[in-house]
Amino acid sequence: MAEPKRAIFASGCFWGTEYHFQRAPGVLSTRVGYTGGHKPNPTYRDVCSGTTGHAEAVEVYYDPEKTTYEALARLFFETHDPTQVNRQGPDVGEQYRSAIFYLDEEQKEVAERLIRILREKGYDVATEVTPASTFWPAESYHQKYYEATGKTPYCHVYTKRF
């Protein structure tokens, strides 16, 4: 197996985002957490206060021999509404923003190209494309939430866009 690669996506409630990435071919592991803000070691309560600048995000490790960053980024855009600003369905707040936290120039270029494609198709994409910063893992009860509870996402529905 090739060296695993890493990606970080934020698309509303991290439970639903993780749910879809866990099921994607080539994904080795996922972890929910917080990134993009200024407070070190934030808690869920801190992030929900709206004062940390963090987004709820998912860190994805994948096998580059079985999938690509582009395939994962397309899944990201097709499992949430990238036109919404600071919300996803009933979840409202800066922590629910649509964002790609890129780890290198290749990831940035893929994200920007996919946004251009979606805009050409008429989508008013609000997704931020931002350099990755520290990823702070969320509390253990948030990890693999839907797998643990047997529930399914309420605001992350697959919609073909490409």
Residues annotated as part of the active site: 13
Q: Rounded to the nearest 10 degrees, what angle do helices 105-120 and 69-78 cross at?
A: 40
Q: Distances from the Cα of 139 to the Cαs of 68, 84, 107, 143, in angstroms?
A: 28, 26, 27, 7
What whole-number distance in Å separates Cα of residue 32 and Cα of residue 135?
Answer: 9
